[in-house]
Chain A
């Protein structure tokens, strides 16, 4: 950039107003909270399906689905058009049918937890996967590894009391879930509560899966246990775009390819802050398609995916230099922040004189250390949060309005 252009650019940044500010979401990709492959999921039509089949059904029905994960061991497909519907728990403690917007799969080698209840319900989930637990101040989310025997967990009646449909016969698709349509049956489930009888760790190697259910963020296992859905780093971006919970969010337009969310409205203290969000993949300096081959992918798919990853990172770098007015840098507070990529990216952001907020995510985990991130980047404000638990989101939105409004 030339001297004059640089000055104009800097002055326009200092005094810009009117147009929505474009905020980049940067940071490394994170893992999801998942169920074992063979775990069944309860569907809105009253049937059950292994979660791995829900994933493959979404994959089959949405062959052009965008994979929004950039990690080599993850696949996170946008599949709202697949018409997969599940019973979800609302904040008012009602069970309602809801559409699955994303399916998630991750290669996993480690400990899972088998949770059993007094009425015989059971499920095997990753340690961080949350259950809905009755508390003194209402239902709350507690990860499997923090559950205790005797806890009261949300569940639904597994025998639907009735079906709302023109055709009383269950409509299925090759033994799978029915496409959502006016004629599709919808089971009428009701909320019940069950008591945890046993929690046992178990080792597991293979794929684990999760679903994203916009707005309600819950789905139900085949045995009737209500669990919370995936939270990834870029879930934060989705929370602001109406794809997830939030009456303070509205998005009139979404461009899939670029993963930009335009005109996101965040209301704070009686005024509305309008921003455009640029949701970027995890930044790296290397991509090897052989890493994808290790996760049950053929060479053609692995090469295609690695190429998409490189294009995504290149694009993110370009946006950072040319096309964003502020940056949210999301870090996993359980990981070492002193990586070269983090150091370089924060340096790049600082050199552009962009307002930056650092989000220390995953503070709900035991090994989270906010101080480690504060020490790494003492020149910036660090906002702790748990996107999973929705913890400290009020401060998150306050700071976004303060920094980017």
Chain B
């Protein structure tokens, strides 16, 4: 993982596919939430599974607190349209998501999104 920090700036955590694959689901979610709560923008080379996304929303909701943390903004490219195969249907696994950007809800705003481009505004 590479950290880019600037004085009085915005820290961006670029998390590699390999780093994420070495973590369990809740470890991934903690990595994201802790980074975002510190005010960082977290960019995942490969996003979360649907089940992990569901847990991320649930944990985010549980951690929201007045005047401290208002939640997350998350954007990823749309999943490729494909019917899940028998294995996926049985085991609840879908193909991995594409690149995902997550940040503090009060500091990141999505300006534009389509299947090829995510444009976001980050404020300090």
Interface residues of A (CB under 8 A from B): 1, 3, 6-7, 10, 283-289, 303, 306, 310-311, 313-314, 317-318, 320-321, 338, 340, 343-344, 347-348, 350-353, 378-379
Contact = CB atoms under 8 A, between A and B. Distances in A.
9 tightest Cβ-Cβ pairs between the two chains A and B = A286-B71, A286-B105, A351-B50, A314-B61, A317-B58, A288-B70, A310-B61, A348-B50, A347-B50
Contacts of B89: 10, 353
Given A283-B57, A289-B66, A338-B78, A350 B71 contact: no
A324 to B, nearest CB: 12
Contacts of B11: none
Interface in B33-58: 49-51, 53-55, 57-58
A348 B51 contact: yes
A344 B58 contact: no
B50 A318 contact: no
A117 B83 CA distance: 56
A350 B113 CA distance: 22
B49 A351 contact: yes
A343 B78 contact: yes
A135 to B, nearest CB: 42
B contact face: mostly helix, strand, loop, or mixed:
mixed
29 contacts: A1-B92, A6-B92, A285-B57, A285-B60, A285-B71, A285-B72, A285-B73, A285-B105, A286-B60, A286-B70, A286-B73, A289-B66, A313-B61, A314-B57, A317-B58, A318-B58, A320-B54, A343-B79, A344-B53, A347-B97, A348-B53, A350-B50, A350-B84, A351-B51, A351-B94, A353-B84, A353-B89, A353-B92, A379-B81
A297 to B, nearest CB: 13
A162 B55 CA distance: 60
B81 to A, nearest CB: 6
Contacts of B60: 285-286
Interface residues of B, number: 37
Nearest to B94: A351
A351 B88 CA distance: 7
Nearest to A354: B92
A353 B74 CA distance: 24
A340 B58 contact: no
B114 to A, nearest CB: 8
Contacts of B66: 289, 303, 306
A287 to B, nearest CB: 6
B7 interface: no
Interface in B64-111: 64, 66, 70-76, 78-79, 81, 83-84, 88-94, 97, 105-106, 110
Nearest to B70: A288
A7 B110 CA distance: 39
A15 to B, nearest CB: 13
Contacts of A310: 61-62, 64
B91 A6 contact: yes
Nearest to A343: B78
Contacts of B49: 351
Contacts of A285: 57, 60, 71-74, 105
Given A283-B57, A340-B74, A347-B79, 15 more contacts: A6-B91, A285-B60, A286-B60, A286-B70, A288-B70, A303-B66, A306-B66, A338-B113, A340-B76, A340-B113, A343-B76, A348-B54, A350-B84, A350-B94, A351-B51
